[in-house]
């Protein structure tokens, strides 16, 4: 049961994910969370380095889609800036939005990497659909009210995963 929360990889930032390495591993699609993964949960502006990263993904032939539990207005406003498709009110960790995203991008779980800052939504959901999962360190040190509960559970699960020796990185 605990392994359903185990990400395959960890990165300090989404910008540390190398599109060429993903391509060499057979990844054709990247499903990403929005809040505290791409931008802080309480910000709306896209940084230029993030736009460059999206361009590098496109050049590597990797399709990107945002899958977020946030509302349509929030997700659409950001997605429009990067010209990315999106799914809002995704109800993660339920697998339906992940499956829908993969169907829309015409890829399998083996060809997909799910990237996010939360074990309880992004990683658990990505693992359910057989995608590769990559946990990133949250951008902001604060969270919206709904995420605060998840963070407490997440810290406990991370400590259990560390005690079992399953995590390959530090705090």
| Lowest-confidence pick of 80-84, 102-106, 135-139, 151-155 | 151-155
Show me where the domains of the chain are located.
2-163
- The yes/no answer on whether domain 2-163 falls in CATH 3.40.1160.10 is no
Residue range 41-75, pLDDT digits in tens: 778 788 999 999 999 999 999 999 999 999 999 99
3-state secondary structure of 120: helix
Cα dist. 123→20, 92, 120 in Å? 22, 10, 7
Residue range 120-156, pLDDT digits in tens: 999 999 999 999 999 999 987 666 666 667 777 888 8
Mean pLDDT of the chain: 91
- How confident is residue 38, by pLDDT bands cut at 50, 70 and 90? very high
**CB-neighbour burial class of residue 141 (10 A; exposed 0-12, middle 13-18, buried 19+):** exposed
Please give the residue that has the higher pLDDT: either 98 or 165. 98
């Amino acid at each position: 049961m605990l392994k359903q929360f185990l990400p395959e990889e960890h990165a300090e930032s989404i910008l540390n994910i190398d599109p060429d390495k993903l391509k060499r591993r057979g990844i054709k699609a990247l499903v990403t969370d929005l809040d505290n993964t791409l931008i802080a949960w309480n910000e709306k502006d896209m940084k230029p380095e993030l736009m460059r990263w999206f361009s590098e993904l496109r050049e590597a032939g990797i399709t990107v889609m945002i899958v977020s539990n946030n509302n349509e207005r929030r997700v659409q406003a950001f997605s429009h800036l990067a010209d990315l498709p999106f799914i809002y009110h995704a109800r993660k960790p339920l697998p339906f939005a992940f499956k829908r995203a993969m169907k829309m991008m015409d890829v399998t779980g083996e060809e997909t990497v799910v990237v996010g800052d939360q074990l309880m939504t992004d990683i658990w959901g990505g693992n359910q659909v057989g995608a590769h999962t990559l946990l990133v360190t949250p951008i902001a040190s604060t969270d919206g009210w709904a995420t605060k509960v998840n963070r407490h559970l997440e810290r406990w699960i991370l400590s259990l995963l560390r005690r079992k020796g399953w995590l390959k990185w530090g705090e």
